[in-house]
Amino acid sequence: MNISTKMNQIVAQLNQIRVLPILVADDAQNAIRTVATLAENGLTAVEITLRTPNAMKVLAEVVKACPTVCVGAGTILTEQQLHQVIDTGAAFGISPGITPVLAKAAANSGLPYFPGVGGASDLMLALEHGFNIVKLFPSDIVGSTKMAKALGGPFPDVKFCLTGGVTVESTPQLLTQANVLCVGGSWMCPASLIDAKDWAAIGQLAAAAAQAGARK
Ligand code: 3PG
């Protein structure tokens, strides 16, 4: 499958669920169970962050165990991580920011990739490398929908995934902004509930998140 077909499929899925869960996990079995619970409750795509010592292994195991879920990697900070992510078979990659080196590597990699931006200069760098769907991070600090709306003036073809400080309460309002493709957040799978193996509570939070993202 070529890169634009892969990208279109992921964007179609994000456009449908509109809430991307962000998982921070260091234990593969817990992560698999969490991802399955999220998917059972309507959140069929997930970003697994590379923020724990075992994260790359966790990502690889979840990709293998959850073939019907669109499993991507987040917190990609280096070119080396990008290549390791590709080796896991992850469906997409996300970074909190953008650098020329990483943007170039991602553009040449064949992996659907969403760089992070915090303003217009980052966005110009993203566009120079062909990325017109970006993570706006940290969304609640840099201005959220106000920032997305303002950037929509000079950059009308860009779509944003708002991430950082998003809640189930703020989700419906954030999604009313036309150039917001989706929101991302960790609130539906917090470490406290994963550690407690409280799958029922995660299921409830996931269902509420899916509901908040649903088109009314
Ligand atoms: C991220 O990795 O994008 C953020 O840490 C997620 O933000 P949140 O934890 O505030 O949802």
Which residue's alpha carbon is at the smallest distance from atom 9 of ligand 1?
Answer: 186
Express each pLDDT in 171-203 by its tens digit.
999 999 999 999 999 999 999 999 999 999 999
Is 93's C-beta closer than 6 angstroms to any atom of ligand 1?
Answer: no
Q: Which domains does the chain have, with CATH numbers?
A: 3-213 (3.20.20.70)
- Asked if 125 and 136 count as a contact pair (C-beta separation under 8 A), the reply is no
Ligand 1 and 184: CB distance under 6 A: yes
Which residues are CB-neighbours of 34 under 8 A, at least 6 positions away? 23, 25, 189, 194, 199, 202
Q: Per-residue pLDDT tens for 149-175?
A: 999 999 999 999 999 999 999 999 999
Cα separation, 136 vs 114, whole angstroms: 10
- pLDDT exceeds cutoff 90 at 1: no
Q: Is 47 a catalytic residue?
A: yes
Percent of the chain exceeding pLDDT 90 equals 99
Regarding the beta carbon of 49 and ligand 1, being less than 6 Å apart is answered yes
> Which residue puts its alpha carbon closest to atom 11 of ligand 1?
185
Q: Which residues pair with 210 in a beta bridge?
A: none
User: How does pLDDT run across 117-156, given as a tens digit for each residue?
Assistant: 999 999 999 999 999 999 999 999 999 999 999 999 999 9
57 is catalytic: no
